[in-house]
Amino acid sequence: MYDHLIMKENKIAIVTGGNRGIGLGITKSFIDEGYKVIVGARKDRKLKDIFGEKVFFVKTDVREEKAHHTLVNIAIKKFGRLDVYINNAGYSFWKPISEINEEFLGDLLDTNLKGTFWGCKAAASVMKSKASIINVSSIAGKRGSSNNSAYVASKFGVNGLTQSLAKELGPRNIRVNAVCPVLIATEGLIEALELEYAPGRGDPNTFISNFTKSNSALLRMPTELEVGQTCLYLASDNASAITGQCINVDCGVLPQ
């Protein structure tokens, strides 16, 4: 038992965007399990006040490939290993295709898709057998929705990337999976739902409530911590036969 606890304490995870919303739920889940977590994000948000010396913040712009290599190099230099890399950083934004320009599309794809791609590449360059990459996608990566073409395309891309890399990295015994949450009322989602073309139409809470009643088998939405616990399971030895999967965390909104 004691040796098992020491092993967990020595495990290292990187979480991009792990300082708020779903990312914060993931960070908390891994820290509670005994991991040391390196959070790569644009702002610290006083993580050490919450988690103390169990968390390490690195200012990161996930759109830049070199930023991901910086994160993994810090993990190797500081701890000598990297067990889990979680590509969580990303954002939602509803906009009809007629209003989408090069700047908007470029930034969204650079953040949501290319940011995940660079994270996978950097992690794979240092990971050893039994390590795990987890990409935070969305059920928007499995079905389209109105005024959401750019975001949906980015998340379909994340799911395809996940499946491809599972085949590519599998011979090295590195597993690659994705989690696909549904609407979770994070700060970022509420902000996105308040914008002009979003289905919230300025009333996000009512939209989420009505969506839940109409679509959720459990008549509720998942929490950030439930996404975190799913990631924790996928990173664990209990999921050693699971790779290339894009697993819904959606309270039965999209049964598959």
Joined tokens for residue 149: 């073409």
The pLDDT tens digits of the residues spanning 35-65 come to 999 999 999 999 999 999 999 999 999 999 9
Could you tell me how many residues make up the chain?
256
User: Under a CB-based contact definition with an 8 Å cutoff, are residues 157 and 165 in contact?
Assistant: no
Q: Give the single-character DSSP code of 223.
A: -
- Beta-bridge partner residues of 86: 15, 134
CATH topology of domain 2-188+224-249: Rossmann fold (3.40.50)
What is the identity of the amino acid at 192? A
55: left (phi over 0), alpha (psi -120 to 50) or beta: beta
Tell me what percent of the residues of the chain surpass a pLDDT of 70. 96
Spot the catalytic one: 35, 85, 151, 197. 151
Residue spans of alpha helices (H) in 60-148: 65-79, 102-109, 115-126
Confidence of residue 8 (pLDDT cuts 50, 70, 90): very low
Statement: residue 159 has pLDDT above 70: yes
- As a whole number, mean pLDDT of residues 67-81 equals 97
Q: Distances from the Cα of 211 to the Cαs of 183, 189, 191, 205, 216, in angstroms?
A: 9, 14, 17, 10, 8
How high is the pLDDT of residue 10?
A: 81
Confidence of residue 1 (pLDDT cuts 50, 70, 90): very low
- Residue 249 main-chain phi, psi, to 5 deg: -120, 85
Q: How far apart are CA 81 and CA 10, in angstroms?
A: 9
2 is catalytic: no
| Per-chain mean pLDDT for the chain | 94
Task: Give the N- to C-terminal CA distance of the chain in Å, as an integer.
Answer: 38
